[in-house]
Structure 1
């Protein structure tokens, strides 16, 4: 029972289809051409994905481009609708409900109060022409804040935490480097103290030294704030550095999951073995 109470969010048999599907691909043992139904050509971007995220845990999701990991993250943040499956969040009042079935207003509340999201491309997470402080204020206002002084104090706190000079807090992110934009995104995502942070390929395209700074920042934030995190990456080295447990996705399905050290030391699936050997 204690283990169950420790679950922050739970995903069961979540699928995302592009197409109508057919009787053949509706079968759980249907053999697809990668993730495409050979009968009706429906694309199964995610297929019966299940996992639990525990309190204070960092869960990694690794896989190549097209494996379904980013689609899964978009469904968790309600950027896309799931075709089927259930999604439960313990910090939401109706935690017994499948939040995929909630109203758009309730989903916005969850996005504003429970979830933080950091996108691979900062354009999706920031208003690039607004100041960094205004971006944070936007998130706080959506979560119900109205006191300007409190919002300014929160903005200063988190911009300082992610190493954005406060003398640049009124600069728009469009004037920042890629690494700084990602750090502003992280500050914005953390500003309402969400219990869950979703990070989708946040270091892709950054210089190696900048990558290291962002990864160290993520680890520091998790230690200090105890936030549960889902980290998506195609790079197993990043997953190794950050994550307690790891799921490996291929062609829309979870092919292997377990404690990160176990996945790295004794991979069972041929694709995971290929990933692990590529970083040794």
Structure 2
């Protein structure tokens, strides 16, 4: 029997503008030259399987972050459906969920790590309080359990528990990302969304964060949707890769296959820039 995907996205479209009959044939990059409509995501379909890292690579404006923010309900797409194995037996479109159900999905089934830690953390709260906030949002009120969970997760992301009462604003960028990862893992989500998590970090810090993500995947067996514009990051972590350009998927396959034998001219250009 075929494995059931943790996440299935069908024909996700995010359009800014009314659209017109000419949009299909008159797009310049992702903008219609006739009506001016911008297609930030254009008919995106994908699956993420249990324990898999699916990489999404593409330049700025390719639709990667639009996809991630739609999945985490920061944006509501114009069209499309998405199904989670752990919600409604995988048969209910998450974008049709009630506000209460969406909060449950965000707090229990998915974890999100943003490129900018300011979006994912309360910078004036302590590191432990950031994790506790996520646990409280999922309905727990046991202070002892929350403290123990915060200690466990901060240790997992290699932050000294002696610093758990410090605020993330006092931490380096790499440490802030690690606190964000620990917060995202607070309620044992089945899917982790990582949006450009190493952008802006020093190379040595990038390497540590990537190594940490690999360890977390091995320890928790979590499925990961990993967005990056950096093919080196994708090569290190992703089992399969999707290449996006101008809001569309232009190529997909096993990461090794994409890197060794890219078919699309844009992917070839990306791979050659890495060599």
DSSP-derived class of the 1:7 partner: coil
Give the Cα–Cα distance (whole angstroms) in 1 for the partners of residues 92 and 163 of structure 2: 43
| Alignment partner of 1:152 is 2:150 | no
Corresponding residue number in structure 2 for 1:205: 200
Corresponding residue number in structure 2 for 1:113: 108
- CA drift of 1:24 comes to 2.2
Deviations 1:115-137 (A, max 9, x none): 00000000000000000000000
Corresponding residue number in structure 1 for 2:5: 7
What 5-or-longer segments of structure 1 have no aligned partner?
none
Give the Cα–Cα distance (whole angstroms) in 2 for the partners of residues 184 and 77 of structure 1: 19
Corresponding residue number in structure 1 for 2:136: 141
Give the Cα–Cα distance (whole angstroms) in 1 for the partners of residues 146 and 85 of structure 2: 27
| Alignment partner of 1:218 is 2:216 | no
Contact 2:217–2:223 (8 Å) recurs in 1: yes
What 5-or-longer segments of structure 2 have no aligned partner?
none
DSSP-derived class of the 2:39 partner: strand
| Alignment partner of 1:192 is 2:192 | no
- CA drift of 1:93 comes to 2.7
Contact 2:42–2:247 (8 Å) recurs in 1: yes
- CA drift of 1:265 comes to 0.4
Give the Cα–Cα distance (whole angstroms) in 2 for the partners of residues 122 and 247 of structure 1: 25
Give the Cα–Cα distance (whole angstroms) in 1 for the partners of residues 266 and 187 of structure 2: 38
DSSP-derived class of the 1:6 partner: coil
- CA drift of 1:94 comes to 4.6
Deviations 1:204-240 (A, max 9, x none): 0001110000000000010111100000000000000
Give the Cα–Cα distance (whole angstroms) in 1 for the partners of residues 134 and 43 of structure 2: 32
Give the Cα–Cα distance (whole angstroms) in 2 for the partners of residues 148 and 23 of structure 1: 57
Q: Compute the TM-score of the two structures, normalised by the length of structure 2.
A: 0.98
DSSP-derived class of the 1:255 partner: strand
The aligned runs of 1:54-133 (5 Å cut-off) are 54-133=49-128
Q: Compute the TM-score of the two structures, normalised by the length of structure 1.
A: 0.97
Alignment length, in residue pairs? 275
- Aligned-residue Cα RMSD (Å) equals 0.8
Residue from 8, 20, 25 that aligns with 1:22: 20
Corresponding residue number in structure 1 for 2:250: 255
